Amino acid sequence: MLSKPLDATDKRILTVLQREARLSNVDLAKRVGLSPSPCLARVRALEEADVIGRYVALVNPETVGLGVNVFIRVTLERQVEKALERFESRMHAYPEVMECYLMTGDSDYLIRILVRDNSEVERFIVQNLSTIEGVANINSSFALKQVKYKTEMEAP
């Protein structure tokens, strides 16, 4: 937890790092109008407070053969603690699961998988999802085109 609210400088640091995480501290400091030492101290404080959770490289899925993006809604027989824990534990074990959310509404979970082709979607549903105890309904939708995707957010 940050000891103080984010100020304008912290927000500038976050904006720049979200766009260019490999930027050196010296270059980051120049961009946000600080000298290197205070800039590094601020970045470390943001990391320690878990405002910056990690640094990643974003891979274009199609360039590595993962061109099928599927959203799957899952309904459980009962939404009890053990069933939720079981389902969530299994989601962590599947590398094709990119995102998984506990939802309100008609479905209990929304997951997004990224796979090579339709046969991998079938395998995932038949061999993985349908074998989880307590799964009552599975409904999938294939993404035809990605209209918007971003990883960068504005700090409030």
How crowded is residue 12: how many other Cβ atoms within 10 Å of its Cβ? 17
Global confidence as pTM: 0.88
Of the chain, the percentage scoring pLDDT greater than 90 comes to 94
What mean pLDDT comes out for the span 72-88?
95
pLDDT digits (tens, 9 = 90+) for 94-148: 999 999 999 999 999 999 999 999 999 999 999 999 999 999 999 999 999 999 9
**CA separation for the pair 101, 87 (Å, rounded):** 11
Q: Which residue has the tokens 């899925």?
A: 61
Flag whether pLDDT at 1 surpasses 70. Answer: no
- The CA–CA distances, whole Å, from 49 to 53, 103, 115 equal 9, 27, 34
Q: Return the DSSP state at 126.
A: I
